[in-house]
């Protein structure tokens, strides 16, 4: 693990009891889904539609600064909610039980340059199955950042702060390219011919999104071309920086842990829950924070219950935290300012070639314990089967 765990070691019996309590909570929650959740997601979709209309209409009057500022902000919020509370959660299958074809997880396509199919593979499957397992979860640094001491240092990581800033403002584009794993081209594990073939659907989605925001809407605006194209650009920037911040706060805070691939041996349900808990971070805040983050302010609950509607995470978090406290498990939560400051600290700290000797000796001691306490299955299982 990357840090000395703040959680106490559990016996195998305690681990299974821990898992059983969380399974019971999930079962209870899923059994109670109904009109409230359906009305909620329809309300979210309506908000996205009408806020996009309001934002784009305001930008059409963009020669007046107040209209440009309002239009840009409203459109940015619309894109955030569409990506995080609507698209992300729907694509996890959280609303498949409604039997509404427009909200079916395997068919939904969201308003961003990353294709839904690639996202369902890199995020829903790889990340949620192998959360924070080094060598399996590509979300650890996204192939461009060093955020944990166990990642081998290379000279390119001296640019950690710069790369993080670029990643933040171009987040939708970076995620679109993530599935290409371009670092494997540099290491010789992949050819450019393979990359070109994999890029075809990505390129098509990029062209579609670029045409929508930077050609179609600016052109139909006529004399308002400049206010509309600049408003669209900054709205996308708002969405990218916010999504980057929320996601990094959920995965790369000071107390977040990573795991060696050896822990994929014979994982039980309880052990899988422990890995999700120890590799995740929550954010405190009110209803607006939860809504604007797609309820990923409850990243712990999302990793534990990826197919449960996100709007239920707040109430589930009360029970999850109580269960964790009874079993002596650290529940990593804090304000946005607190959590993000530790993310920034990681970005700068691990840009440098710190001696791995001390870090490794600490990590090896904990890994030795972890191998006994929380091994993880070798089997390649889908998130849906894990959550079933």
Comparison of pLDDT for 357 and 143, the residue scoring more: 143
Cβ-count burial of 358 within 10 angstroms (0-12 exposed, 13-18 middle, 19+ buried)? exposed
Comparison of pLDDT for 386 and 31, the residue scoring more: 31
Per-residue model confidence as pLDDT tens digits over 61-80: 988 999 999 999 999 999 99
Q: Report the C-alpha gap between 32 and 83 in whole angstroms.
A: 26
Q: Which tokens belong to 62?
A: 């963009």
Range from 169-173, 307-311, 317-321, 354-358 carrying the lowest mean pLDDT: 354-358
pLDDT at 143: 84
Give the pLDDT band (50/70/90) at residue 344. Answer: very high
pLDDT score of 183 more than 80: no
- Taking residues 252-272, report their average pLDDT: 92
Tell me phi and psi for residue 133, to 5 degrees. -90, 115
Mean pLDDT of the chain: 89
Give the pLDDT band (50/70/90) at residue 4. Answer: low
Maximum mean pLDDT: which of 8-12, 181-185, 308-312: 308-312
pLDDT at 356: 54
* Residue 309 neighbours by CB under 8 Å, 6+ apart: 33, 37, 40, 41, 89, 94, 95
- Taking residues 234-241, report their average pLDDT: 98
Range from 204-208, 264-268, 291-295, 364-368 carrying the lowest mean pLDDT: 364-368
Local structure of 334: helix, strand or coil: strand
Q: Report the C-alpha gap between 45 and 362 in whole angstroms.
A: 48
- Taking residues 204-229, report their average pLDDT: 96
Nearest to 263 by CA among 70, 49, 44, 1: 1
- Taking residues 375-384, report their average pLDDT: 36
pLDDT at 47: 98
Distance of CA 156 to the CA centre of its chain: 24
Contact 267, 290 (CB under 8 A): no
Q: Which residue has the tokens 């996100």?
A: 310
Tell me phi and psi for residue 276, to 5 degrees. -65, -40
Q: Report the C-alpha gap between 71 and 235 in whole angstroms.
A: 9
pLDDT score of 279 more than 70: yes
Per-residue model confidence as pLDDT tens digits over 147-162: 999 899 999 999 999 9
Q: Report the C-alpha gap between 125 and 171 in whole angstroms.
A: 20
pLDDT at 2: 43
- Taking residues 223-241, report their average pLDDT: 97
pLDDT at 246: 98
CB hemisphere CA count around 355 (13 angstroms): 4
For 178-216, give one letter per residue: b (16+ CB within 10 A) or e: bbbbebeeeeeebeeeeeeebbeebeebbeebeeebeee
pLDDT at 190: 84
What DSSP designation does 259 have?
B
What DSSP designation does 298 have?
B
The domain locations on the chain are 12-387
pTM of model > 0.75: yes
């Amino acid at each position: 693990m990357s840090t000395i765990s703040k959680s106490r070691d559990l016996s195998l019996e305690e681990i299974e009891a821990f898992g059983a309590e969380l399974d019971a909570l999930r079962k209870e929650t899923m059994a109670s889904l109904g009109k409230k959740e359906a009305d909620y997601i329809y309300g979210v979709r309506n908000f996205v539609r009408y806020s996009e209309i309001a934002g784009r209409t305001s930008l059409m009057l963009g020669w007046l600064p107040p209209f440009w500022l309002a239009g840009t902000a409203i459109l940015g919020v619309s894109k955030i909610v569409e990506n995080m509370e609507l698209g992300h959660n729907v694509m996890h299958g959280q609303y498949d039980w409604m039997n509404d074809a427009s909200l079916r997880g395997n068919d939904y396509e969201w308003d961003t340059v990353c294709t839904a199919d690639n996202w369902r593979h890199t995020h829903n499957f790889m990340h949620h199955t192998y959360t924070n397992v080094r060598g399996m979860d590509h979300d650890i640094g996204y192939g461009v950042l060093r955020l944990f001491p166990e990642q081998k240092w290379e000279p390119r990581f001296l640019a950690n702060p710069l790369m993080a800033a670029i990643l933040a403002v171009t987040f939708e584009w970076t995620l679109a390219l993530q599935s290409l794993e371009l670092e494997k081209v540099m290491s010789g594990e992949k050819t450019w011919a393979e990359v070109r073939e994999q890029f075809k659907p990505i390129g098509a989605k990029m062209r579609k999104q670029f045409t929508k925001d930077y050609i179609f809407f600016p052109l139909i605006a006529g004399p308002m071309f400049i206010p509309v194209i600049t408003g669209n650009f900054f709205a996308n920037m708002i969405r990218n920086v916010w999504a980057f911040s929320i996601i990094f706060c959920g995965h790369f805070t000071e107390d977040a842990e990573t795991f060696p691939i050896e822990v994929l041996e014979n994982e039980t349900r309880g052990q899988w829950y422990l890995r999700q808990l120890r590799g995740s971070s929550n954010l405190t805040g009110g209803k607006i924070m939860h809504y604007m983050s797609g309820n990923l302010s409850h990243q712990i609950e999302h990793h534990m219950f990826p197919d449960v509607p996100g709007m239920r995470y707040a109430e589930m978090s009360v029970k999850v935290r109580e269960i964790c406290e009874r079993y002596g498990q650290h529940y990593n939560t804090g304000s946005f300012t607190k959590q993000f400051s530790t993310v920034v600290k990681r970005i700068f700290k691990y840009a440098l070639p710190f001696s791995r000797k001390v870090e490794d000796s600490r990590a090896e001691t904990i890994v030795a314990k972890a191998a006994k306490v929380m091994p993880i299955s070798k089997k390649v299982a889908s998130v849906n089967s894990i959550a079933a």
